[in-house]
Structure 1
């Protein structure tokens, strides 16, 4: 039950934020919005305010914004009759809200559990740093081998490939240089010195770390998608609804912070996936608008609508295939 409820909540929030972006920009540009709904399926509740019907549907898996994106209309306030720049901002707003959600949940996580900074928190016994006596808890690591290390990720990135290290540190306001010889990690090929980071917890620092985390994860998702035509990345598989439900359930059992972190990751994935220039996705619609701007003439909307319809059918077929692979993995 916890898996089911968590799955509904996580993807409900992710899709809701996405659609809220489209809705807010459409309203800002005075584009006509017929309906803004939470969930899908039969209506449980609806109330018309102005020209927009606000409703709650039976299946709480996200939501949708109903505009006339694919039908030709004489209405000057229809989506298709809006200037290209307004349509672009409406389409971009959905994925952007997915990144906003990711930053928000990562900020909550890092503010709640703390985040590592570029300072020594603990020396591990019988490891190079402790044996040398050169480092002390509280030392700020400013540079390693001449490379600035403003974050803990930078510290570990500089230690990992280098057996010989010169660290520029700050201790009680004094700048010092220490020499360390790293040891090879027995579990892989990285070098380590045996230090754990100092952790801090404040809103501003958590926000900065959340932005960095969102950027780093976005790059990893883009790299994964870019590798798909060549067969994908080794050891990384695409998971469908069943696989994602399992991940959500496992995260939920690990605590609220684990679930929030996974929500951020899934939100980033949805945002980037929707920006792909494929029919029926936001990226596909953006592509057609950019072609309009380049050619300086309107594309036949009925033909474009047929392309998006065909693209939607292909996406559904792909989802069914991924679901099939998900189910096969359950029995392996």
Structure 2
């Protein structure tokens, strides 16, 4: 249960930041965002703030921001339709009742002759069969009401496709960017708690069962000398221990105000080119520094990005097989392992997953953010947009292939568990 709760929290955090990036940049560009959703499937909880409905859905495996213009409008008002109109204090139509007109006795019932709810914002119609044709102007924020549910109309200038190439590019790119930003924030927290690497000649965390612990060395001991040789940095300590495998070393340490000598027998391990080095089971020292935490968080995030890109290169060249990839089941299993090692390991794992999500979404594949960015770049180069129907078809096929890949990867994960 602890692993399940941790996975839900991690996925919720990653998805929330990703979709928040899309939402913030869309709103900045003036795009009407109908829904901000975490998860897929049936709604568990929802509330509306201004023009956006915020929802939590059953399956925490993704999310979306429903932007006006990305999908066909839910309602098309055609000649001959009977609709109810409710007006605001300025005489503009504030609600267009599509059905169940009997439930709105105060609405003016009109038979539509012509309607434009995107560009010129009007409805022309007759109150009576032989009556006068009247034009009713719409409020820019009017709602159409279907089955007693209100949906705000989307004038063309509030739709995704009407915005500049730069605004659309930034709106899509903001999702993956927020995942990289989240990784940086998590690593800042990580290094603020753990501390940042220091080169002081002090002992960091002692590994249980290794020579340093057996000899009685403590975290925080300051190393003054080893075998009578003065040391001035952690690097000096590492170098001397590494150069003396399977040897007894005399550490002169300062613990609080006392000076002590401790004998430590080093262990031996293999290194590159059949070499050997000594070790005693001590991590390097750390220090608390906000500036250091920020600097190290950027370095660690860029390191993870580099490793992800190397893994993708290996996948493309065939050095890494699909059977070595992990999907939701594999991530769940690995999260369980990190839960056992404490909060700091969970933080580091979450940051890695956030980087992974950002990188994957930037791949130039249909249905991913990278694929959508590719179409925007193609539009910029061509000077005109790609046919929306063709683009939708490409994204649909791409989504189907991604789902197929997910099934294959999930099957691999399951086989690793039981075989």
TM range (shorter): 0.7 to 0.9
- Report how many residues are paired: 292
- Structure 1 residue 38, shift from structure 2 partner: 2.7
Q: Using the alignment, how far apart are the partners of 1:115 and 1:191 within structure 2?
A: 28
2:338 matches 1:251: yes
Runs of 5+ unmatched residues, structure 2: 74-117, 119-155, 205-210, 216-224, 243-265
* 1:167 equivalent in structure 2: none
Q: 2:326 aligns with which of 235, 239, 244?
A: 239
Q: Using the alignment, how far apart are the partners of 1:32 and 1:192 within structure 2?
A: 62
2:131 matches 1:50: no
- Structure 1 residue 68, shift from structure 2 partner: 4.1
Larger proportion of strand:
2
2:7 matches 1:7: yes
Q: Using the alignment, how far apart are the partners of 2:288 and 2:190 within structure 1?
A: 10
Within-5 A mapping of 1:268-279? 268-279=355-366
Change (3 A) 1:208 1:69: farther
Name the stretch that deviates more: 47-56 or 253-262. 47-56
2:331 matches 1:205: no
Within-5 A mapping of 1:151-300? 186-189=269-272, 197-233=284-320, 237-300=324-387
* 1:152 equivalent in structure 2: none
Relative contact order higher in (CA < 8 Å, ≥ 6 apart): 1
Contact 1:33 / 1:51 at 8 angstroms: preserved in 2? yes
Change (3 A) 1:191 1:213: farther
Name the stretch that deviates more: 210-219 or 42-51. 42-51
Residue deviations 1:57-101, cap 9 Å, x none?
Answer: 233445321114644675221111211100110111000110111
TM-score, scaled relative to structure 2: 0.63
Larger proportion of helix:
1
* 2:403 equivalent in structure 1: 316
* 2:191 equivalent in structure 1: 110
TM-score, scaled relative to structure 1: 0.79
2:304 matches 1:304: no
Contact 2:202 / 2:234 at 8 angstroms: preserved in 1? no
Residue deviations 1:209-240, cap 9 Å, x none?
Answer: 11100000100000110111222349x92111
Change (3 A) 1:192 1:199: farther
Q: Using the alignment, how far apart are the partners of 2:393 and 2:320 within structure 1?
A: 34
